[in-house]
Amino acid sequence: MNIERALRVPLAEGGLVKTIIGALLNLIPIVSFLSSGYLLELMGNAAKEKHEMPAWENWGAKFINGFLVLIIALIYMLIPLIIISACGGLEAYCQGGGWGLLSGAFALATIVAMIIGFFIPMALAHFAYSGSFSAAFSLGTIFSYIGKVIGAYVLAYILIIALAIAMMIVSIIPILGFIICIFAGFYIGCVGSILFGDAYRQARAADAGAGTGA
């Protein structure tokens, strides 16, 4: 996994213009599916060792894939969403003094969401590489692949979180912070797509090697 390359690709050789386009489209509800589809394509390219920003073309395919990314994320997050929904039913009880139960339920939902969220990038990479929606739910393969590259995968995960935290800090700056974050949010998405695509490619290579060795 080449972190320096992942940080550079969205800015190099025409990448900056493509990143700006994605950032602007990402601001518009529904239209933002195009940006999600673009990131999925970028992830698939990285998984196939193509380290360059895709062209802004095939808009229909990008839109559909972006919508499917949302569906995949919602399905994975179904459990924490159910917990949060159940919290709404506790409000009446909490008015009688049960705030501890409510806060505990929200804390549980947050923890579960963080745990499940850890697996979503590999699920999306499997979908991006194979082109099959069902591949995103091949849990055995997804868990196996993460295990084969756990060090690189965790490093990518931590780096993306660190970049997101840095962006949140910058967002405090009036006006300028907001403008920077419009671009930075999509840029971080590009970096993450490249890193997790690379991790997926390494996992597939390790899996193939293990199969050959067997």
Q: Where are the domains of the chain?
A: 3-75+139-213
Query: Both tokens of residue 154?
Result: 């965790």
The answer for residues whose C-beta is within 8 angstroms of residue 67's C-beta and 6 or more apart is 33, 36, 37
CA atoms within 13 A on the CB side of 47: 25
For the purposes of burial, counting CB atoms within 10 Å of the CB of 180, is it exposed (0-12), middle (13-18) or buried (19 or more)?
middle
Q: Model confidence over 11-58: pLDDT tens digits?
A: 987 889 999 999 999 999 999 999 999 999 999 999 999 988 999 999
What percentage of residues in the chain have a pLDDT greater than 70? 87
Mean pLDDT of 97-107: 62
Query: Does the pLDDT at position 95 exceed 60?
Result: no
Q: Model confidence over 183-205: pLDDT tens digits?
A: 999 999 999 999 999 999 999 99
